């Protein structure tokens, strides 16, 4: 260990002791509790990065939820944070959960020590639950476009990609249009990544099908009708597609984000990705900090890590497009090799507005179950 590291480590340790002394302890577990961290809306409210790190170390824990390690390179993201802040132990719950599962956990666990600190959440679910979130602006806030964040920091988008149809070309015919999936060669083979009434990826899969069948961003009904046809023909598989189901052949055709679908090529060399030119649907997930986070300083430190150059480039290595990508390209901080590997899409991307995402979710809530029953 070099001298510079030792001096810095001692400084942080002293700061941590001072913070604990100033903020007191919750009792029982002896975990530090700092009210300023719980209400901090920026790193400045925490006394800068050193103060935030000290407070997070004093808490010693971070609860995340619904973060599969094979989703957008989250395994490397989790490991990177753990290596950088080894005194903040991560508990990762329900890694295959949906956006709605995240919200349910916040509501059900309340202020308990097991409650989620942070959420990685689809926009339609985020917009329906703003009262659960605490406002916070990361240090790189100005790199995020205005339409990709809530003005006070209740949510801010993190990474995104294009909705696609991934398929095992050794098991099904080539996919050249969404309508191809109605053919007999796709019997019991087509799946979504989750329940579209709960999972953002699945909702957008239905929306892509709608766009490709004459619908619009204001009308997801054509997508529901399409999946009803798939079900009637026996082509729709009503299970959530995962890395395991793709690998074992249960779901050889999957509606999913291109960055997630591309990862299946590791296990299935014959895996291909199709993005319909008439339905290039682009969307981003968002980050939010729970208002009742049991580890509020660690929650904010996590967000600072995710929106740092390191965190953004880790998502990029997972073939997802980080929200700060344009700013990092301009500054020369982008991982150019990783950017060159992004899946291509030829055409004009379409994005749902907040109102359109909310309306699509409401329509699915009222019509999806009956369509595929």
pLDDT band for position 251 (cuts 50, 70, 90) = very high
CA distance 286 to 368: 24
Mean pLDDT of the region 94-101 = 95
Element containing residue 371 per DSSP (H, E): helix 354-372
Mean pLDDT of the region 189-208 = 96
C-alpha triplet 207, 213, 216: angle, nearest 5°: 50
**Amino acid 28: pLDDT:** 29
**Amino acid 35: pLDDT:** 55
Quick check: 322 pLDDT over 60?
yes
pLDDT single digits (tens) 8-63: 333 333 333 333 333 333 332 323 434 589 999 999 999 999 999 999 999 999 99
Tell whether the torsion through CA atoms of 197, 366, 204 and 351 is positive or negative: negative
Mean pLDDT of the region 290-308 = 98
Give the domains, in start order, of the chain with CATH numbers: 160-282+341-372 (3.40.190.10)
Confirm if 175 and 261 have CB atoms less than 8 A apart.
Answer: no
Tokens (6 digits) for 240: 């959530």
**Amino acid 19: pLDDT:** 37
Mean pLDDT of the region 168-186 = 98
Confirm if 232 and 238 have CB atoms less than 8 A apart.
Answer: no
**Amino acid 328: pLDDT:** 98
pLDDT single digits (tens) 334-344: 999 999 998 77
pLDDT single digits (tens) 64-87: 999 999 999 999 999 999 999 999
pLDDT band for position 3 (cuts 50, 70, 90) = very low
Quote the mean pLDDT of the chain. Answer: 90
Q: What SS3 state is found at 221? A: helix
Quick check: 91 pLDDT over 60?
yes
């Amino acid at each position: 260990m070099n001298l510079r590291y030792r001096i810095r480590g001692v400084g942080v340790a002293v700061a941590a002791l001072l913070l604990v002394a100033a903020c007191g302890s919750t009792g029982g577990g002896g975990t530090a509790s700092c009210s300023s961290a719980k209400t901090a809306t920026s790193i400045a409210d925490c006394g800068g990065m050193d103060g935030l790190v000290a407070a997070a170390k004093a808490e010693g824990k971070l609860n995340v939820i619904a973060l599969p390690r094979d989703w957008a390179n989250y395994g490397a993201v989790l490991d990177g944070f753990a290596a950088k802040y080894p005194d903040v132990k991560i508990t990762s719950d329900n890694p295959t959960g949906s956006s709605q599962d995240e919200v349910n956990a916040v509501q059900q666990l309340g202020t308990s020590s097991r409650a989620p600190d942070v959420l990685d959440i689809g926009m339609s679910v985020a917009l329906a639950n703003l009262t659960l979130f605490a406002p916070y602006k990361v240090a790189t806030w100005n790199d995020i476009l205005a339409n990709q964040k809530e003005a006070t920091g209740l949510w801010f988008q993190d990474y995104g990609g294009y909705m696609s149809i991934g398929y095992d070309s050794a098991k099904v015919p080539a996919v050249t249009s969404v309508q191809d999936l109605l053919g007999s060669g796709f019997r019991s083979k087509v799946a979504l990544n989750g329940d579209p009434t709960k999972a953002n990826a699945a909702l957008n899969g239905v929306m892509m099908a709608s766009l490709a069948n004459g619908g619009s961003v204001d009308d997801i009904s054509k997508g529901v009708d399409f999946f009803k046809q798939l079900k009637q023909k026996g082509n729709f598989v009503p299970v959530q597609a995962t890395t395991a189901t793709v690998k074992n052949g249960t779901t050889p055709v999957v509606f999913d984000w291109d960055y997630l679908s591309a990862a299946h090529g590791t296990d299935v060399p014959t895996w291909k990705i199709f993005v319909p030119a008439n339905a290039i649907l682009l969307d981003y997930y968002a980050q939010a900090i729970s208002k009742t986070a049991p580890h509020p300083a660690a929650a904010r430190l996590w967000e600072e890590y995710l929106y740092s150059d390191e965190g953004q480039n880790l998502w990029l290595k997972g073939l997802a497009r980080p929200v700060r990508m344009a700013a990092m390209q301009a500054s020369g901080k982008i991982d150019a090799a990783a950017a060159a590997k992004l899946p291509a899409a030829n055409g004009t991307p379409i994005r749902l507005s907040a109102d359109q995402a909310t309306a699509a979710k409401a329509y699915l809530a009222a019509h999806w179950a009956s369509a595929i029953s």
